[in-house]
Amino acid sequence: MRAIIFALCSLLTTSVMANTYQVGDQIADITLQDQHQVDYHVDSKTTRVLFSRSMDGGTLIQEALEAEPELVSDTGLMYVADISGMPSLIARFVALPQFKKFPYRVALDNEGEQTKPLPAEKDQATLIELNNNQITKITFFASTTDLLAALK
The phi and psi torsions of 32 (rounded to 5 degrees) equal -130, 170
More confident residue, 39 or 73: 39
The answer, yes or no, to whether residue 34 has pLDDT greater than 50, is yes
pLDDT, tens digit, for every residue of 92-111? 999 999 999 999 999 999 99
Q: How far apart are CA 59 and CA 79, in angstroms?
A: 12
pLDDT value of residue 52: 97
Between strands 39-42 and 134-141, the pairing is: unpaired
pLDDT value of residue 77: 95
Q: What is the model's pTM?
A: 0.84
Q: Which residues of 25-50 are buried (b: 16+ CB within 10 A; e: fewer)?
A: eebeebebebbeeeebebeeebbbbb
pLDDT value of residue 149: 96
More confident residue, 41 or 9: 41
Average pLDDT, the chain: 88
Confidence label for 74 from pLDDT (cuts 50, 70 and 90): confident
The answer, yes or no, to whether residue 81 has pLDDT greater than 80, is yes
Count Cβ atoms within 10 A of the Cβ of residue 142 and give its class: 0-12 exposed, 13-18 middle, 19 or more buried. middle
Confidence label for 6 from pLDDT (cuts 50, 70 and 90): very low
pLDDT value of residue 72: 83
pLDDT value of residue 5: 37
pLDDT, tens digit, for every residue of 39-57? 999 999 999 999 999 999 9
